Structure 1
């Protein structure tokens, strides 16, 4: 290498897209660097091949080397270095070759590396710039591929953690359910003595239903398939409803709860059930991550700019600052805090953010760090008038008075027989069938006023059975209720088109079933 002037290059904006260059002489390097810089291509001149190989490990958009640098073991060393790159990477290597016959060094380089371009000297400036720009465009696409692969790997990692958490959370309620069933099977108990076990089983079943419901809610929201039932709401009543839902978790943790409502006249347009779910999720989250005996406060205020501000503040484990921007994302849980939470899938905050945004609001989180507590702030647009009479808090409870002849159809015998027994205890005349054909035969003699049908049955499914019951000459006016695990919008449309009056999801909610039967009563009376 001959001596030459010192090369002064500006600070590189993106080292990942720099061209690492090793030419035959320093003079060639100065000229090439100046030409490429003028064309907007950032270069870094390396003193020798070892330096070029070291810099390659730090990142490069392309390599530009002269044939002379590949003599001896140079071509083999370069090929070996390029061979260690990641699977996504295909680093472009441009070789400035001497005019004339192919040399052994170039042959070795081309055999050892996939992405090699040979440029014969002397080369026009435009040709060199064009070749490097093409190489850098290809390199940018490789970096984009790397980002996509990293995102996919991160998403896969989150899903793996989520599935492990889901399995854990489903096993938790299954354990006491299994134990309680074993006790009831093996030990004759009076109704009073058995009541605690029945209560235990009911609580654990409710927990499992909430887990599955949360999963379905997230699925519907992410696909834009959720619809709000908007009404005028009293915000303080919504908060009271959320507190009531969260009270068992608060009591279990012996938490002190303070609710501070500055203005009870705040009214907004929203879905009472969904907003109650929003604040119940925030309260549940606070309870789960607050040690026993901690404090949780809810502040409801007017911001003076047409928005209500609800803050849920706790004295819990806190949130690391690095996680504040990600805790509302799907499958994200704060590392090191999962064991502090008494159950849950870590998707509650995803639901909160989605529901709040559907109402035109915002939600944010802040924390001073580990063991410094957390504060979640929800902002929702208010109506431009005060609270009006009749503003609601959410769904009302219904009482059940069953006076129907009900046909229950489900290919799951346990499901059909247990629902039939429950309806019998509530005063209905109930009979069960386990297939479509069995149901048609029993309906002929039983003549039900209502049929509760499973949908996903083999052979004749629930929709086909519903159509046949609707057209049966002796079953005019029969009420049809779908009780199924299929609850997506397309399923609801298909079920409605089959002639069903109501669509309920498994496991049956007795209150929802009561409402459906009452509506059928009202229709019959009309």
Structure 2
């Protein structure tokens, strides 16, 4: 993307390497998200700078650009899960979901994610702040490469079906962070159609879909020989006993009410697949 838009990127690092104790994959994903956003929201031929600094309190990784910038009245909402600085980017995920997840991942590290901007068309700067205790003085001892097969354990093909685009995309992003192969559709009709060329092991299905309901979709899936054994998980705002009875009768394996506990959902995905 940087090359396609002819951006200039400059990387400024400390004179000595900084060794940190952190989740390598998650830090890389957050940095990748910040760099992608900088490239996406900077007009062609722009300037992007990645810097790393450290002091006694924290380590700071910053991505600055001279792109479209952020208006002052929107800065406070930039990390909200479903906010979109530019609604035109809604369908491709936009800024909102990626930044919200990035912020959460850094907070799990005991750190934070901040943003500053001088205003519209004056660029922006996003910074990852990691606490000093993340730093490890000696360089990490090299370890043997993990066999490739280990990386694929527990990774599944998953279909997410929800007419709430923000909720569906947020759940998809979370599942992709865990390494799953995910497809996302926003209606029951789309769910049935995609099953002709995508074979999921697990389907996460909202019940209150317009047109063809989640219950109707589930019954259709169970009645089709090629999909009758797929694991189906209801993700819904309906959690009364009669609702759970309806999903059980329609062939669902699990029933979760929103907001879904991600750890419990992961366990359901793993246990369901393991049982097949």
TM band (smaller chain): 0.5 to 0.7
Name stretches of at least 5 consecutive residues in structure 2 with no aligned partner.
Answer: 151-158, 160-190, 201-220, 234-247, 255-259
Structure 2 CA distance for aligned equivalents of residues 250 and 357 of structure 1: 28
| Equivalent pair of 1:289/1:341 in contact (CA under 8 Å) | no
Q: In the comparison of the two structures, how many residue pairs are matched?
A: 194
Q: Return the match for 2:39 from 287, 303, 315.
A: 287
Q: Does 1:273 pair with 2:25?
A: yes
Q: Return the match for 2:274 from 483, 494, 500.
A: 500
C-alpha deviations, 1:48-93, integer Å up to 9, x for none? xxxxxxxxxxxxxxxxxxxxxxxxxxxxxxxxxxxxxxxxxxxxxx
Structure 1 CA distance for aligned equivalents of residues 117 and 193 of structure 2: 51
Calculate the TM-score normalised by the size of structure 1. Answer: 0.31
| Equivalent pair of 2:84/2:90 in contact (CA under 8 Å) | no
C-alpha deviations, 1:469-521, integer Å up to 9, x for none? xxxxxxxxxxxxxxxxx99433443454557079xxxxxxxxxxxxxxxxxxx
Structure 2 CA distance for aligned equivalents of residues 499 and 292 of structure 1: 46
Matches within 5 A, 1:353-372: 353-372=103-122
Structure 2 CA distance for aligned equivalents of residues 316 and 340 of structure 1: 16
| Equivalent pair of 1:296/1:312 in contact (CA under 8 Å) | yes
Structure 1 CA distance for aligned equivalents of residues 15 and 34 of structure 2: 21
Q: Which residue matches 1:20?
A: none
Q: Return the match for 1:378 from 102, 119, 128.
A: 128
| Equivalent pair of 1:436/1:461 in contact (CA under 8 Å) | no
Matches within 5 A, 1:320-359: 320-334=71-85, 337-339=86-88, 343-347=92-96, 348-359=98-109
Structure 2 CA distance for aligned equivalents of residues 274 and 297 of structure 1: 20
Q: Which residue matches 1:296?
A: 48
| Equivalent pair of 1:436/1:462 in contact (CA under 8 Å) | no
| Equivalent pair of 2:37/2:95 in contact (CA under 8 Å) | no
Q: Which has the higher contact order (CA 8 A, sep 6+)?
A: 2
Change (3 A) 1:499 1:254: closer
3-state DSSP of counterpart to 1:250: coil
Change (3 A) 1:322 1:501: same
Q: Does 1:456 pair with 2:232?
A: yes
3-state DSSP of counterpart to 2:120: coil
Matches within 5 A, 1:3-402: 249-263=1-15, 265-302=17-54, 304-334=55-85, 337-339=86-88, 343-347=92-96, 348-381=98-131, 382-390=134-142, 398=148
Structure 2 CA distance for aligned equivalents of residues 417 and 373 of structure 1: 42
C-alpha deviations, 1:6-63, integer Å up to 9, x for none? xxxxxxxxxxxxxxxxxxxxxxxxxxxxxxxxxxxxxxxxxxxxxxxxxxxxxxxxxx
| Equivalent pair of 2:231/2:272 in contact (CA under 8 Å) | no
Structure 1 CA distance for aligned equivalents of residues 34 and 121 of structure 2: 18
Structure 2 CA distance for aligned equivalents of residues 274 and 416 of structure 1: 34
3-state DSSP of counterpart to 1:301: strand
Matches within 5 A, 1:478-497: 488-497=262-271
3-state DSSP of counterpart to 1:251: coil
Structure 2 CA distance for aligned equivalents of residues 265 and 345 of structure 1: 33
Structure 2 CA distance for aligned equivalents of residues 436 and 263 of structure 1: 64
3-state DSSP of counterpart to 2:12: strand
Change (3 A) 1:341 1:310: farther
| Equivalent pair of 2:52/2:62 in contact (CA under 8 Å) | yes
3-state DSSP of counterpart to 2:84: coil
3-state DSSP of counterpart to 2:115: strand
Change (3 A) 1:253 1:489: same
Name stretches of at least 5 consecutive residues in structure 1 with no aligned partner.
Answer: 1-248, 401-409, 421-433, 440-452, 465-485, 503-526
Structure 2 CA distance for aligned equivalents of residues 416 and 388 of structure 1: 47
Structure 1 CA distance for aligned equivalents of residues 231 and 6 of structure 2: 44
Change (3 A) 1:341 1:459: closer
3-state DSSP of counterpart to 2:2: helix
Q: Please identify which structure carries the higher helix content.
A: 1
| Equivalent pair of 1:266/1:386 in contact (CA under 8 Å) | no
Q: Which residue matches 2:257?
A: none
Once the 2 structures are TM-superposed, how far is the Cα of residue 418 of structure 1 from its aligned partner? 6.0
3-state DSSP of counterpart to 1:285: helix
3-state DSSP of counterpart to 1:365: strand
| Equivalent pair of 2:68/2:121 in contact (CA under 8 Å) | yes
3-state DSSP of counterpart to 2:21: strand
C-alpha RMSD of matched pairs (Å): 4.4
Q: Please identify which structure carries the higher strand content.
A: 2
